[in-house]
Chains A and B, each alone.
Chain A
Amino acid sequence: MEVVLEAADLVKEFGSLKVLDGASISLRKGEVKMLVGPNGSGKTTLLKCLNLLLRPDSGSIYLEGVEVTAPGVDAKLVRQRVALVFQESYLFSHMTAFENVLFGPYKVKKLARSEAEKLAVNALEEVGLDRGSWTLYPAQLSGGQRQRVAIARALAMEPSVILYDEPTSSLDPVGAEEVVATIVELARNGVTSLVVTHDVGLLAALDAEVYLMSKGRVVVRGRLEELPALAEKAGDPEAARFARALSLRLEKVRKAVVACRWTSC
Chain B
Amino acid sequence: MPVDELLSLLAEGFLNTLALTAISLPPAAALGLLLGIYRACSSGWARAVLDAITDALRGIPLLALLYAFTYGLPELGLPLQPQAASAIALTLCSSAYLSEYVRAGVLSSAEGEILAAQSLGASRLQVVRYVVMPHLLRTALPAIANEAVYLLQATTLAGLVGVYELLSAARTYNSKYFDFWTPAAALVAIYAALSVAVEKAVSASGSLGRRWLKLR
Contact = CB atoms under 8 A, between A and B. Distances in A.
B138 to A, nearest CB: 7
Interface string A63-90: 0000000000000111111011010101
B85 to A, nearest CB: 40
B120 A86 contact: no
B121 A92 contact: no
Nearest to B213: A94
B120 A157 contact: yes
Interface string A98-124: 010011101111000000000000000
Given A92-B131, A95-B215, A102-B215, A86 B118 contact: no
Interface stretch (B54-62, B109-117, B146-154): B109-117
Nearest to A92: B113
B131 to A, nearest CB: 6
B113 A77 contact: no
Nearest to A95: B215
A51 interface: yes
Contacts of B123: 76, 108
A193 to B, nearest CB: 15
Interface in A175-190: none
A153 B113 CA distance: 13
A104 B120 contact: yes
A264 interface: no
Interface residues of A, number: 30
A39 interface: no
B134 A94 contact: yes
Contacts of B119: 51, 53, 79, 83-84, 86
Interface residues of B, number: 19
Given A92-B130, A94-B134, A108-B126, A77 B121 contact: yes
B135 interface: yes
Contact of B117 (A92, A102, A109): A92
A102 B215 CA distance: 9
Best-surrounded residue of A79, A81, A94, A106 (most CB of chain B within 10 A): A94
A93 interface: yes
A91 interface: yes
A94 B135 contact: yes
A104 to B, nearest CB: 5
B122 interface: yes
7 contacts: A53-B118, A80-B121, A90-B113, A93-B113, A93-B135, A103-B215, A154-B120
Given A86-B116, A108-B123, 4 more contacts: A80-B120, A90-B112, A103-B120, A109-B121
